[in-house]
Structure formats: structure tokens, C-alpha cells
Amino acid sequence: MIQSFNSSLLENAVGELSKLPGIGRKTALRLALHLLRRDENEAVALGESIINMRRNICYCSRCHNISEQELCPICSDTRRDPAVVCVVENVKDVITVEATRQHSGLYHVLGGVISPLDGISPADLEIDSLVRRVTEENLREVILALSPTIEGDTTNFYIYRKLADLPVQVTMLARGLSIGNELEYTDELTLGKSIQNRILFSSTFHPNE
């Protein structure tokens, strides 16, 4: 039990830090005391970077990724293929997919997945704007890159239905064995899917590429 800090400034900083996800009051106190021990510039740099980020980052008007301008750097990159759009749940997933260097098209950030339990309905997500993009931007392919969960699959299916009548190819990420994992420890559902979706072995095939 942490009771009194004898300082409203410390109390205040601990209170604000402990609002962050996964940071309780004990951790918040540890972080605050760490900042007190370090150089003043370090604490000021941290505080200002948070304020600047929140004040100046906005969302790309096209794909809803974070951006510092009207269009995000990905949408304004002319070397990318604007006819292929990868649909992801959130901003973090853009970073994750980008790190694979396997997608050279654009993105569309939904802002979540359909989840009745959390009160998230299709209207809360950027689904209508995706449907509009398909027509207006004349998209060739929409890659659904949502998590392989019940909510993700529900959202995949909802979007698939919405796009069914439009002349666009809708694909989704393959489900199969995780590279590097033992077969023995793969769950049955995934193993089953990986049998259904088995790939024709060819002499030019490099398994882990």
C-alpha cells in the first residue's frame, strides 16, 4: 500500500503515469523516481515528446494511418501500387506488415474489429470508407490482414460480403504452420487449416522465404 508521497507534484506524475495501460501505481512510482534521479533534460524531453506527438499527429484522410500531413507517407509514395490495399485493424499492424517488406501496395486502417461484446459495430469502423475507396480508386485487390480470431474472422466475412458485388479481388492472409514451430505443438485448428490449404511442392520452392 502506497499512501502518501509528501509531494503533490510526485503524486500528480504518478497518477498520470498509472493511467497508462499495464502500469500500476507501484510501477508508476518507480518510473517517476527514475526520472527524478536522471538529468532534468531527459524528463523534459520525455514530457515534450508526448505532448508534441499527441498535438501534431493526425490521421491520413485516405487510409486512416497516423500521419503528420493530410496524406501519410505510404499513401503519398508514388512507387507503391495504389490498386492493392491491405486492410488492417490498427496503426500498429501497419508497422508490423511493413516490417515484412512483402506488401508494396497501400493500407486501410479499420480502427478495430467487429466485437459485439466490446460494443464495436461495423458503423464504428472504417468499412464504408473502404467500400468507397474500392470504387473511387478502382482497386484491383483488397488483402484482408486481420487477426485470425473470432472477431477478426467476423470482420473479414462482413467486409467480404460488402465487397462481393464489386469488381475487386478479395484475399486474406494464409493460415498455416508458424515457421520455426514444431508440428507437435501446433494447435489442431491451425494444423487442419494447413492441410486444407496445402501448397504444391515444386523444385523451385524455398520453404521459409
Alpha-carbon span 77 to 43, nearest angstrom: 35
Q: Closer CB to a copy of itself, residue 90 or residue 115? A: 90
Which positions ≥6 away from 103 have C-beta within 8 Å?
A: 84, 86, 97, 143
- Residues of this chain that bind a copy of itself (CB under 8 A): 1-10, 12-13, 15-17, 19-23, 27, 29-36, 40, 42-57, 65-68, 72-74, 90-92, 94-95, 98-99
Q: Is the alpha carbon torsion for 141, 146, 148, 154 positive or negative?
A: negative
From the CB of 42, what's the least distance to a copy of itself, in Å? 7
Cα 65 from chain centroid? 9
The full length of the chain comes to 209
From the CB of 119, what's the least distance to a copy of itself, in Å? 15
Q: Is the alpha carbon torsion for 19, 108, 68, 102 positive or negative?
A: positive
From the CB of 203, what's the least distance to a copy of itself, in Å? 31
**What residue has cell string 536522471?**
38
Alpha-carbon span 127 to 168, nearest angstrom: 15
From the CB of 49, what's the least distance to a copy of itself, in Å? 4
Alpha-carbon span 176 to 190, nearest angstrom: 6
From the CB of 182, what's the least distance to a copy of itself, in Å? 23
Q: Closer CB to a copy of itself, residue 43 or residue 191? A: 43
In the numeric block, which cell numbers belong to residue 161? 460480403
Q: Closer CB to a copy of itself, residue 31 or residue 173? A: 31
Q: Closer CB to a copy of itself, residue 32 or residue 127? A: 32
Q: Closer CB to a copy of itself, residue 72 or residue 87? A: 72
